[in-house]
Structure 1
Amino acid sequence: MIALPELGMGCAAIGNLYRAVDDQTSDATVAAAWDAGIRFFDVAPHYGFGLAEIRLGRVLGHRGLVSTKVGRLLERTDSTAAERHGFVNARPYQGRFDYSGDAVRRSHDESLARLGRSRVDVLLAHDLGERQHGPDNARHLRDFLDSGYRALADLRDQGAVDAIGIGVNEIAVCDTLLDAVQLDVILLAGRYTLLEQEAARPLLERCAAKGTRVVIGGPYNSGILIDGSRNAIASHFDYGAPPPSVIDRVRRLEAVCDRYGVSLPAAALRFPLRARAVVSVIPGLVGTDQVQATTRFAETPIPDAFWADAKRAVA
């Protein structure tokens, strides 16, 4: 099984998530991450509709560990909308969900071409789950279990990738798939954070028992745990506007951080790694300043007593 570093980089932001980023800034971000010792990069066709993969591959080349995803095939679009699915000024493509075996193989090949790599290390089925698909979820799960998973497993068994799994924002679908197939890796975004400490614990315990490694994405809950309560009006929680109840919990966490002299982002970054099943955390980064701040957060000492008080603050 592949060994994943504790700190990686999520690449949605260099696909222009929420705001347009120029090539110079994107290239500098990836280069700074590499220079800072980050060796694991997570990307997906969905991020900027191929833009993030192209940008990542241009700077990274064949270095480092890369995970990308399957489940959406990119097709040309005539849409002129400046923002589509949260991505601003992205490539003129749109994603069509398809979790079949043929689509998995095609998506993998197309990602390699955009990345300019001969292989990726981890391949994940992206965004399965009822919250994402509603009434179509049963059909997509059936396609994945009938042939998509087999295509992933074949790629792993042939040595084309080192590990396979899912990259999702929902806990329930993780349990559903763990009942049916072997998952080497689960990338769970935004569901196990300093703000949301309890809901995912049974899943994490199950993963630890089964040997499924967990990567935590979205440790800042889309931004609110970076921006804090004072800037909540301009921030995001779970890809949307933060509700008042979330802002209140952030204020309570900030009070705990003040008592211990710990920054909120540092605590948010370090929290997921306390779980035995979690092997890596991958904050989304854009800009050399964010890379530098993240490496500082990762090295911040946090007293053991802090964690108990932080847990009580969001209970």
Structure 2
Amino acid sequence: MGAIAFEKRKVGRTGLDVTALGLGGASLAGIFTGVSEETARSTVARALQAGITYFDTAPQYGYGRSEHIMGNALRGKREGTVLSTKVGRLLKPIKDSWAKPHNWVDPLPFDELYDYSYDGIMRSFEDSLQRLGLNAVDILYVHDIGVMTHGEEGNKPLWNQLVTGGYKALRELRDGGTVKAIGLGVNEWQVLMDAFALGDWDVFLLAGRYTLLEQTSLDPFMTTCLKRGASVVVGGPFNSGILVGGSTWNYAKAPEDVVRRVAAIETVCKEFGVPLPAAALQFPLTHPAVCNVLPGPRSPEELDGIIDWWKTPVPSELWTRLADKGLLAPGTPIPGEVAG
């Protein structure tokens, strides 16, 4: 497969721009399903060959495995690419077994320790460079801070770490030019409104909350991004698989009301001869705050399928029909129309 002329979009008010399609690094580290290192590195290589310039990873993914894979695959090929990783988890070696259940197949022998403090952020960043074997990353996201991961009471002291020191560390790294953009990478939009109250950010990686199935983050979060000049990277565009023919939504079995809604959306897609996954992949980019859609293929073949969906023409009338049927949230931006 040769290079594709992907649309590029700016990241907030930074000097970065990214291809509107990116490559996420969680699946490559073996979440739920094992992926060999050879297959993972070949997937990154295929993305580069196709013309994708944005790559995301994190210490949590395979407890360091994803960063090793991504760094090995990108080393010597970083020119023109944008790489993000995440802070908030430190990895510590284990001797025998993990302290709690996890979803990784064949992870590295480390466990995670949450730390959003000034020192924790700085150490996390430096550790990531070591695992990547690279001298720089472009974007740092604060990973999985919020009630969804830590619970109401558990999140309070961790958020206080970010408020009293972690945010300062991120600002120092960005304002000093060590990284080019900072943000949060989470699965819930509500904590991002708290982040806006804390200070200025460039880009947020939000998984699953602005998709063809769900636009719960539309207002006030997405509208605030436009006002504050922040971009959104949309992770989980297939909502854990339900939008590509699977039965999983939000990492669990989809409830009946979600299954019915997906069926209704797919009926509209069939009217226009558009595969549901193609519509799901392209939908988030109808919003002007979105700079990138970030799926997580497990192999070069899965990536090729995603690129085929990406190249599938989707008429703007499809979005209009979905809106008319009440299958998009009121106010969802639709190409060619002015949002009310």
Q: What TM-score does the superposition give when structure 1 sets the normalisation length?
A: 0.94
Determine the structure 2 residue equivalent to 1:50: 64
| Aligned 1:153-232 pairs, distance under 5 A | 153-226=171-244, 228=245, 231-232=246-247
Residues 154-184 of structure 1: CA deviation (Å, up to 9, x unaligned): 0111211000011111111000110121111
Determine the structure 1 residue equivalent to 2:260: 248
Residues 101-139 of structure 1: CA deviation (Å, up to 9, x unaligned): 101011101111111110000001001111211111111
Over aligned residue pairs, what C-alpha RMSD do you find? 1.5
- Identify unmatched segments of 5+ residues in structure 2: 1-13, 329-340
Tell me, in whole angstroms, the C-alpha distance in 1 between the residues paired with 2:24 and 2:90: 20
Opposite residue 197 of structure 1, the aligned amino acid is Q
Determine the structure 2 residue equivalent to 1:307: 319
CA contact (8 A) 1:249 1:313 kept: no
SS at match of 2:83: strand
2:277 to 234, 258, 265: 265
Tell me, in whole angstroms, the C-alpha distance in 2 between the residues paired with 1:94 and 1:313: 44
The 3 A distance-change label for structure 1 pair 76 and 220 is: same
Q: What TM-score does the superposition give when structure 2 sets the normalisation length?
A: 0.87
Determine the structure 2 residue equivalent to 1:41: 55
Determine the structure 2 residue equivalent to 1:112: 129
Give 1 or 2: higher helix fraction.
Answer: 1
Opposite residue 193 of structure 1, the aligned amino acid is T
CA contact (8 A) 2:209 2:216 kept: no
Deviation of 1:189 after TM superposition, in Å, equals 0.7
Count how many residue pairs are aligned between Structure 1 and Structure 2: 308
SS at match of 1:164: strand
2:146 to 129, 149, 153: 129
After superposing on structure 2, the runs of 4+ consecutive aligned residues of structure 1 that deviate more than 4 Å are none
Tell me, in whole angstroms, the C-alpha distance in 2 between the residues paired with 1:85 and 1:147: 29
> What is the identity percentage for the equivalent residue pairs of Structure 1 and Structure 2?
41
Larger mean Cα displacement after TM superposition, 58-67 or 39-48: 58-67
Tell me, in whole angstroms, the C-alpha distance in 1 between the residues paired with 2:31 and 2:322: 29
Opposite residue 282 of structure 1, the aligned amino acid is L
CA contact (8 A) 1:253 1:313 kept: no
2:46 to 20, 32, 38: 32
Determine the structure 2 residue equivalent to 1:99: 116
Residues 46-77 of structure 1: CA deviation (Å, up to 9, x unaligned): 00000001011111115121000000101122
CA contact (8 A) 1:171 1:200 kept: no
Deviation of 1:79 after TM superposition, in Å, equals 4.8
Residues 243-265 of structure 1: CA deviation (Å, up to 9, x unaligned): 22211111111111111100111
Tell me, in whole angstroms, the C-alpha distance in 1 between the residues paired with 2:69 and 2:35: 11
